[in-house]
């Protein structure tokens, strides 16, 4: 009985989650990426800068990331997912990436970039969009990870493509929770699902036949 009650609670929670997603504009749909035509040299240059940023984050020497920003831009803009406001201008960007003291609670950070797409919007400007898998270990805790969408604007300089804008876009709580549920499905579900549909159809067919006999 308790197991059935637990299943009922779980199904109700998932139904409420799905209803919430629907009311927010429809259930999330994952479609194939759209190919963006771009000069191969432009894409290669932008991707190289992103990969260098990934490398520098993983080196734990975060201050070196400042070298990947266009120092001639007066007001670089940066939105970190864990912060409540934008960092605008060099003093605040420097204070975030190059603080006077290390955060003692953070032991290690790792980032992995994937699905990078580049759109050139001017001879010297390009937009990059990509997915970032982020992992972090803090003192006295297990490592945690999450998946984030990121976008950036880069300018082509004498030193290569350099950031002038960076924005991290985490998923909404509802979508994130649904993703966690989806990741918890064990291997072999697809085969079980097809058989379960056939079994369910057969069960209800037998019930209908029994009801017809009783009439």
pLDDT (tens digit per residue) in 45-83: 999 999 999 999 999 999 999 999 999 999 999 999 999
- Confidence bin at 17 (pLDDT 50/70/90): low
- Confidence bin at 142 (pLDDT 50/70/90): very high
What's residue 165's pLDDT? 98
- Confidence bin at 206 (pLDDT 50/70/90): very high
HEC secondary structure over the chain = CHHHHHHHHHHHHHHHHHHHHHHCCCCCCCCCCCCCCCCHHHHHHHHHHHHHHHHHHHCCCHHHHHHHECCCCCCCEEECCCCCCCEECHHHHHHHHCCCCCCCCEEEEEEEEEEEEEEEEECCEEEEEEEEEEEEEECCCCCEEEEEEEEEEEEEECCEEEEEEEEEEECCHHHHHHHHHHHCCCCCHHHHHHHHHHHHHHHHHHHHHHHHHHC
The span from the CA of 140 to the CA of 153, in Å, is 37
Average pLDDT in the 189-201 region?
94
Dihedral over Cα of 19, 21, 22, 27: its sign: negative
The pTM for the full model equals 0.77
The angle subtended at Cα 115 by Cα 24 and Cα 29, nearest 5°, is 25
Residue 4 has pLDDT above 80, yes or no: no
Q: In which residue are the tokens 């998932």 written?
A: 14
Size of the chain in residues: 215
- Confidence bin at 18 (pLDDT 50/70/90): low
Better-predicted residue by pLDDT, 181 or 186: 186
Average pLDDT in the 119-141 region?
96
Cα–Cα nearest to 53, from 213, 138, 161, 182 = 161
What's residue 172's pLDDT? 78
Compute the CA torsion angle 180, 181, 186, 190 (nearest 10 deg).
-120
**What is the per-residue pLDDT across 154-176, written as a single tens digit (0 to 9) for each?**
999 999 999 999 999 988 778 87
Residue 23 has pLDDT above 70, yes or no: no
Please provide the distance, in angstroms rounded to a whole number, between the alpha carbons at the two ends of the chain: 32
Q: What residue ranges define each of the domains in the chain, with the CATH number in brackets?
A: 2-24+176-209 (no CATH), 40-171 (3.10.450.50)
What's residue 45's pLDDT? 98
Better-predicted residue by pLDDT, 191 or 7: 191
Q: In which residue are the tokens 């880069």 written?
A: 154
What's residue 113's pLDDT? 98
Residue 7 has pLDDT above 50, yes or no: no
What's residue 114's pLDDT? 98
Better-predicted residue by pLDDT, 8 or 139: 139
């Amino acid at each position: 009985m308790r197991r059935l009650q637990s299943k009922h609670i779980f199904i109700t929670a998932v139904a409420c989650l799905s209803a919430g997603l629907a009311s927010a504009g429809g259930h999330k749909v994952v479609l194939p990426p759209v190919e963006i035509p771009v000069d191969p040299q432009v894409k290669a240059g932008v991707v190289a800068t992103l990969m260098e940023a990934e490398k520098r984050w993983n080196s734990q020497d975060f201050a070196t990331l400042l070298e990947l920003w266009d120092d001639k831009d007066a007001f670089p803009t940066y939105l970190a997912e864990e912060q409540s406001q934008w960092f605008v201008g060099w003093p605040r960007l420097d204070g975030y990436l190059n603080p006077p003291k290390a955060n003692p609670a953070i032991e290690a950070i790792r980032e992995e970039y994937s699905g990078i797409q580049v759109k050139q919007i001017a001879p010297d400007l390009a937009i990059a969009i990509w997915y970032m898998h982020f992992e972090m270990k803090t003192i006295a805790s297990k490592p945690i990870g999450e998946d984030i969408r990121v976008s950036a604007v880069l300018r082509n300089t004498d030193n290569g493509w350099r950031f002038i804008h960076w924005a991290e876009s985490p998923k909404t709580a509802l979508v994130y929770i649904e993703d966690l549920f989806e990741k918890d499905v064990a291997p072999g579900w697809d085969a079980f699902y097809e058989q379960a549909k056939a079994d369910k159809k057969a069960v209800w067919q037998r019930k209908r036949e029994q009801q017809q006999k009783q009439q």
